[in-house]
């Protein structure tokens, strides 16, 4: 490896280690979003094992598909990444500590990569780990049948795809929200606009659906969650993008946004008075 790349790699990891302390210890409120589905699915198994309500293995797995798509991805990961990544730079500006980083002999792009890495380690640990644990817990009350389905049935395939989707959501939304924190003084305004755009995705024409993250994530989920009620009449059904296109597409989007963010950091000036 080129000595310059070795130096940059060490610097990225050094920045990430410094930022992990803030992400893991000082911003604990966001992890309630990751813990909520674990508590919900664990409570379901406890109540079901006590005979409080009847259910079936199929009902449980379909219920988790709804929890994953409607709560974990659209709410938990979205707002969790908003809280983690928009503050990577904007939080330093608010605390008037950004200049300490800029005074160090580290390239601005390396600084951005280190901060993003710290946010991703935190987001992946909590939201990907929480998604996998929630999937395991929701059918745990079935005992031997649960382990048979998980280890020898379709369970391992399904949980693998849920993990992949959660990881891609953290990567994509993380890059977008870090860029929002760099480009806007109040990143919550574009974050709300993005939330609205992602929320109305089922009702958009097929061409516009593809200008979003949630469209590709939903297409990768192993279980489809059809829309019920009056809103189902307004939904426009579109053919999901195949995984061999969706996954590289999301990764390229992440890389492109990170490249733009790194370019923005190069010209960033510290002005606490603003």
SS (HEC) of 109-128: HHHHHHHHHHHHHHHHHHHH
Q: Which of 209, 271, 272 is closest to 246 using CA atoms?
A: 209
Please tell me the pTM assigned to this model.
Answer: 0.93
Domain-by-domain residue ranges, the chain? 3-266
Q: Are 175 and 258 in contact (CB under 8 A)?
A: yes
Give CA–CA dist 216/242, Å, rounded: 9
Give CA–CA dist 157/135, Å, rounded: 12
Q: Which of 169, 166, 192, 197 is closest to 180 using CA atoms?
A: 192
pLDDT tens for the 274 residues of the chain, in order: 577 888 888 888 988 888 887 776 655 567 788 889 999 999 988 888 887 566 778 888 999 999 999 999 999 999 999 989 998 888 777 777 777 778 788 888 888 999 999 999 999 999 999 999 999 999 898 888 889 988 888 989 999 999 999 999 999 999 999 999 989 888 889 999 999 999 988 888 888 888 889 999 999 999 888 777 666 666 777 788 899 999 999 999 999 999 998 888 888 776 655 5
Residue with tokens 């935190």: 122
């Amino acid at each position: 490896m080129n000595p310059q790349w070795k130096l940059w790699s060490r610097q990225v990891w050094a920045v990430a280690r410094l930022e992990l302390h803030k992400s893991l210890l000082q911003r604990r409120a966001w992890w309630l979003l990751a813990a909520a589905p674990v508590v919900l699915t664990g409570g379901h198994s406890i109540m079901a094992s006590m005979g409080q309500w009847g259910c079936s293995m199929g009902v449980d797995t379909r219920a988790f598909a709804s929890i994953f798509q409607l709560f974990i991805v659209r709410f938990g990961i979205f707002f969790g990444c908003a809280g983690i990544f928009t503050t990577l730079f904007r939080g330093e500006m608010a605390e008037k500590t950004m200049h300490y980083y800029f005074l160090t002999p580290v390239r601005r792009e390396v600084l951005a990569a280190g901060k993003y890495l710290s946010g991703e380690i935190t987001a992946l640990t909590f939201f990907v780990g929480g998604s996998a644990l929630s999937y395991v817990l929701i059918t745990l009350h079935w005992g031997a049948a649960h382990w048979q389905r998980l280890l020898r049935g379709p369970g391992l395939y399904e949980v693998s795809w849920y993990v992949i989707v959660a990881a891609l959501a953290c990567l994509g939304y993380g890059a977008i929200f870090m860029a929002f924190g760099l480009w806007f003084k109040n990143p919550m305004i574009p974050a709300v606009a993005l939330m609205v755009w992602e929320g109305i995705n089922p009702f958009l024409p097929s061409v516009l659906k593809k200008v979003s993250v949630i469209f590709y994530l939903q297409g990768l989920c192993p279980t489809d969650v059809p829309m019920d009620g009056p809103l189902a009449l307004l939904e426009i059904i579109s053919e999901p993008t195949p995984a061999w296109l969706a996954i590289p597409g999301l990764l390229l989007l992440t890389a492109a946004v990170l490249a733009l963010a790194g370019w923005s950091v190069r010209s960033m000036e510290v002005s606490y008075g603003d």
